[in-house]
């Protein structure tokens, strides 16, 4: 079930992603060289193609891994609050703050238009969005027992899209956006809880 070969396979993928992420953070998607990723990892170029299919696959994989890490942090912030509204505000603020510091996000949004990596959060954003939704939804259903599942999903859906929008197109500081969003969604959650059996 967890043979040495399995661990080696995971390690290979992880090291390839390390090399790729480093390259992207330095020179963006355009600066990412398949041959360079292979060389840095000590593997042939073909192996990179076997693992990720094509260059876009590499970017998606890097984004997916970073998204998972990102959400671990955000979910932790959400879990620290007992009240849903407080949790939502904390999570939003944490997410926007992290995004502002994130090297990968900076690289993706660095030179608008010139770097196609930005499409990860815009026109080709399904992957990241679905992944984030999946993780947040599961976490929220676990921590908000008093909120009906369907309404929790709606809440996550709205908040997530607003947050991504603020990442792509920065507005006010994280705390302000978080407070605003919490205030807007507060009545919805209150009513949802009130009607809940």
Partner DNA sequence: ACGCGATGTCCGAGCACTTGACATCCGGAG
Partner DNA sequence: CTCCGGATGTCAAGTGCTCGGACATCGCGT
Judged by CB under 8 A, the chain residues 99 through 138 that form the site for a copy of itself are none
Instruction: From residue 105, give the alpha-carbon distance in Å to each of 34, 82, 92, 172.
Output: 20, 30, 16, 18
**33 interface partner picked from DNA, a copy of itself, none, CB below 5 to 8 A per type:** DNA
Instruction: Please tell me whether residue 12 binds a copy of itself under the rule CB under 8 A.
Output: yes
Among 10, 26, 42, 114, the residue binding DNA under the rule CB under 7 A is 42
| Residue 21 lies near a copy of itself (rule: CB under 8 A) | no
Q: How many residues does the chain have?
A: 197
Quick check: 53 binds DNA (CB under 7 A)? Answer: yes
By CB under 7 A, residue 35 contacts DNA = yes
* Alpha carbons 157 and 137: distance in angstroms, whole number: 9
| CB-based contact 47:2 (threshold 8 Å) | no
Residue 173 as a binder of DNA (CB under 7 A): the answer is no
Is residue 94 a contact partner of residue 11, using CB atoms and an 8 Å limit? Answer: no
Choices 52-60, 79-87, 134-142, 150-158; region in contact with DNA by CB under 7 A: 52-60
Give the x/- contact pattern for a copy of itself in 29-58, rule: CB under 8 A: ------------xxx---------------
CB burial readout 30-46, b (16+ within 10 A) else e: eebebebbbebbebeee
Site for DNA in 14-33 (CB under 7 A): 32-33
Q: Quote the CA–CA distance of 37 and 164 in Å, as a whole number.
A: 29
The reply to whether 157 sits near a copy of itself by the rule CB under 8 A is no
* 54 binding partner (options a copy of itself, DNA, none; Cβ < 5 to 8 Å by kind): DNA
User: DSSP for 102-156?
Assistant: -HHHHHHHSSTTT-GGGGGGTTT-HHHHHHHHHHHHHHHHHH-TTS-HHHHHHHH
Residues at the site binding a copy of itself, with contacts judged by CB under 8 A: 2-8, 11-12, 15, 41-43
Residues at the site binding DNA, with contacts judged by CB under 7 A: 3-5, 9, 12, 32-35, 38, 42-47, 49-51, 53-56
């Amino acid at each position: 079930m967890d043979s040495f070969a399995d661990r080696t396979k995971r390690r290979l993928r992880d090291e390839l992603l390390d090399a790729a992420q480093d390259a992207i953070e330095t020179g963006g998607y355009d600066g990412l060289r398949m041959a360079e990723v292979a060389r840095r990892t000590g593997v042939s170029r073909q192996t990179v193609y076997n693992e990720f299919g094509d260059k876009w696959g590499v970017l998606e994989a890097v984004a997916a891994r970073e998204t998972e890490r990102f959400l671990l942090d955000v979910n932790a912030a959400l879990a620290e609050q007992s009240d849903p509204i407080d949790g939502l505000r904390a999570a939003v603020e944490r997410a926007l703050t992290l995004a502002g510091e994130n090297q990968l996000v900076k690289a993706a949004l660095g030179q608008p238009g010139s770097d196609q990596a930005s499409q990860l959060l815009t026109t080709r954003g399904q992957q990241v969005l679905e992944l984030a939704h999946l993780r947040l939804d599961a976490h929220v259903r676990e921590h908000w027992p008093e909120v009906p599942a369907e309404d929790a999903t709606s809440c996550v859906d709205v908040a997530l899209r607003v947050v991504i929008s603020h990442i792509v197109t920065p507005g006010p500081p994280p705390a302000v956006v978080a407070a605003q969003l919490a205030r807007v969604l507060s009545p919805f959650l209150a009513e949802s809880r009130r009607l809940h059996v």
